[in-house]
Structure 1
Amino acid sequence: MAAIIANPLDFNVDDLYVDLRQSIGCRLYLKCEGFNFAGSIKIKAAAEMVGAMERSGELRPGGTLVESSSGNMGVALSVVAASRGYRFVCVTDVRCTLTARRAMEALGSEVHVITEPDAEGGFLGARLARVARLCDENEGYLWLNQYANPGNWRGHYRTTGPEIAKAFPDVEVVFIGAGTTGTLMGCARYFRENRPEVTIVAVDTVGSVTFGRPSGRRLIPGLGTSVRPPILDASYADDVVYVTEPETVRTCRRLVRHGFLFGGSTGTVVAGARDWLARNAAHGTATAVAIAPDLGGNYLDTVYDEEWVARAFGADVTADVTADVAADVAADV
């Protein structure tokens, strides 16, 4: 039977998983979250946060929403705003891909691009300062504040966590990327309350301060923060694994060799899951699920561009990526 919708929020594929054993040689199932009109998992949190604001009466017809985003949440909120008749102002920074910025603008959003990081809070700190200024200068602007908004994690508590539990009743380990930590907190809370035996592993990027490590250069948008998100309760994560950005690129290239064009956040999560499973031999035969937050269309001019990778990480990293792909080809022969 044909699926017929009148609103873009009515379509989201929530039961598609990729068996990664042939792609990366690891017993891991990847939950694909990018098959919706926003192209990422962020559509769930965006709809939840806006819906809660509508129900409270704070957001009324014709209202203006403002949010800081490195890309995916900005696109998701652009979809929600366009579908419900709101204005949306997104504050992003130079790391946001051109494709994501153009998508937001095509959906009618106003995009502000921060070019200089804050001395202490990095690009995120600078973006938050711009959001605060916009709200001060424009009466009626409503800041969703995804970094502290409980709707961010509640959307995943209601959907993503239960979806995994239904698809894999025997799941033992779940790998979740940490950005704003909405997905992490929602899923971790769900499993803590309903399946406490499941191990929750957070995946973060090197250079992120989320779990107390020092700040460092990060070029790939999505995971990691330069300001610890207020909604994070680290006690819900049983372990944390860190991934370098060159390893993110390598993992994306390995996956695309097998026809799976995923985004940088997904590459980071898969790389972290693979590393953790390799170091925890007892879980080698465990039923493990990782969440893929996005697809790769927004990363064609960065992660999948040879010149960008060479400029960002050096020619040796590009050579390593080429070697990884060549090794996969040889293994398939």
Structure 2
Amino acid sequence: MDDHVSEAIARPDLIDLGEGLLCLRFESMKVASALAAVRHLLDTGVVRPGDTLLDSSSGIYAYGLALAAHRYGLRCHIVGSTTIDHPLRIQLAVLGATLERMPPSEDLSLDQNRRVHRIKEVLRENPHFHWMRQYHDAVHGLGYRAVADRILKEVGTGPLTLVGGVGSGASTGALARYVRESLPDTPLVGVQPFGSVTFGSDGVDDPQIIIAGIGSSIPFGNVDHTLYDTLHWTSFDSALAGSVDLLRRHAVFAGLSAGAAYLVARWEAARTGRRVVFVAADTGHRYVDSVFAHHESALPIDDLAPTAIDDLAGLAPPWCRMEWGRRPAPEQAVHRAD
């Protein structure tokens, strides 16, 4: 029996979709990350009950950190993006977390930089706050050991491929590390949006959206580029098609990054014949209007395929695939410690 709802939310479902596809479905993935990170910080004396945890978030990490703070008797202050919707704002308020929302901006880089600038202002005003640094502190990978153990227990020792959004690097990167302790030949396939600096697509614009949660306009310290074997870049329309098909075909109601990962996982499974586990990081509720309301115009995913490229200069929407080969980060994606 769980002692707190966060423990139940942190535990994903593993669903066999057939044809070699396994969906690792989270209600809210960052709960696993935040819960283990905060527990470790308490165990090592970095923070104590009653302290205030501080970080920036565009959505699901704010929820995860607020739940972890509630679980362990801590305070929580979030500098948030305007993408944090009304239901989440209400939950944060009731959970006791305080939220500062940045001014609206269509420029993701401006939004992220504003949030980081504000974090530093808050720390100057409140030096006793603990900045969680979800994008840069490796402590955020600890929560995925239990997830990797679950995958290994249920899937066994056969060939396996992991697919998921790169995001802050904590989720897919940590999963790969832990799974490779038992299955060292497990390929890791990362999913990115166009416009993300992380794997060098920052010069390629997707006019509709940079998919929050799997890409970034600033370098992240938690991304270990040398863990990734293959990269796929997907457009908003391609990810939308994946999300709609995942719901229509398999009744899995998941977010936009899950749709992109599902699209990629289907293609990789058909190409290799291996079982493929893909990450569905959150539910589809906050994408009802922006994604699922357009289900009738979604592209048939069987008509979609990636363009193979061997150099970042070839990147172009709607979908590209590149053998990354565990190479280091491109120069613009190297995080410089602040």
If the TM-score is normalised by the length of the shorter chain, which range does it land in?
Answer: 0.7 to 0.9
> Could you say which residue in structure 1 is the equivalent of 2:288?
300
3-state SS of paired residue (1:222)? coil
The one-letter amino acid of 1:133's match is: E
Residue of structure 1 aligned with 2:261, choices 248, 251, 269: 269
> Could you say which residue in structure 1 is the equivalent of 2:245?
254
> Offset of 1:12 from its aligned partner?
4.2
Q: Does residue 29 of the first structure (1) align with residue 22 of the second (2)?
A: yes
Residue of structure 2 aligned with 1:137, choices 116, 119, 125: 125
3-state SS of paired residue (2:143)? helix
> Could you say which residue in structure 1 is the equivalent of 2:8?
11
C-alpha separation between the residues in 2 aligned to 1:209 and 1:219?
A: 11
The one-letter amino acid of 2:150's match is: E
3-state SS of paired residue (2:191)? strand
Superposed CA RMSD: 2.5
Residue of structure 2 aligned with 1:89, choices 69, 77, 88: 77
> Could you say which residue in structure 2 is the equivalent of 1:311?
none
Show the 5 A alignment for 1:235-250: 235-250=226-241
Cα 1:275/1:130, change in 2 over 3 Å: farther
> Could you say which residue in structure 2 is the equivalent of 1:162?
149
> Offset of 1:101 from its aligned partner?
2.7
**Superposed CA offset, 1:175-198 (max 9, x none):** 121111101221121233331111
Show the 5 A alignment for 1:130-209: 130-156=118-144, 158-169=145-156, 170-209=158-197
Q: 8 Å contact 1:200–1:238 — kept in the other structure?
A: yes
> Offset of 1:106 from its aligned partner?
2.8
Cα 1:61/1:172, change in 2 over 3 Å: closer
3-state SS of paired residue (1:242)? strand
> Could you say which residue in structure 2 is the equivalent of 1:224?
215
The one-letter amino acid of 1:19's match is: D
**Superposed CA offset, 1:257-297 (max 9, x none):** 2432111221121122234445xx3x0x2111112111112
> Could you say which residue in structure 2 is the equivalent of 1:101?
89
Q: 8 Å contact 1:95–1:220 — kept in the other structure?
A: no
C-alpha separation between the residues in 1 aligned to 2:275 and 2:129?
A: 45
C-alpha separation between the residues in 2 aligned to 1:253 and 1:297?
A: 13
Cα 1:127/1:153, change in 2 over 3 Å: same
The one-letter amino acid of 2:252's match is: F
Q: 8 Å contact 1:146–1:152 — kept in the other structure?
A: yes
> TM-score of the superposition, structure 1-length normalised?
0.81
> Could you say which residue in structure 1 is the equivalent of 2:318?
none
The one-letter amino acid of 1:177's match is: G
3-state SS of paired residue (2:136)? coil
Residue of structure 2 aligned with 1:111, choices 73, 77, 99: 99
3-state SS of paired residue (2:78)? strand
> TM-score of the superposition, structure 2-length normalised?
0.80
Cα 1:54/1:228, change in 2 over 3 Å: same
> Offset of 1:305 from its aligned partner?
3.3
The one-letter amino acid of 2:254's match is: F
The one-letter amino acid of 1:16's match is: D
Percent identity over the alignment is 25
Q: Does residue 66 of the first structure (1) align with residue 54 of the second (2)?
A: yes
C-alpha separation between the residues in 2 aligned to 1:194 and 1:304?
A: 38
C-alpha separation between the residues in 2 aligned to 1:187 and 1:120?
A: 27
Structure 1 runs not aligned, ≥5 long: 35-39, 307-317, 328-333
Per mean C-alpha deviation after superposition, the further-off stretch among 226-235 and 192-201 is 192-201
Matched residue pairs, number?
297
Cα 1:221/1:121, change in 2 over 3 Å: closer
> Offset of 1:122 from its aligned partner?
3.4
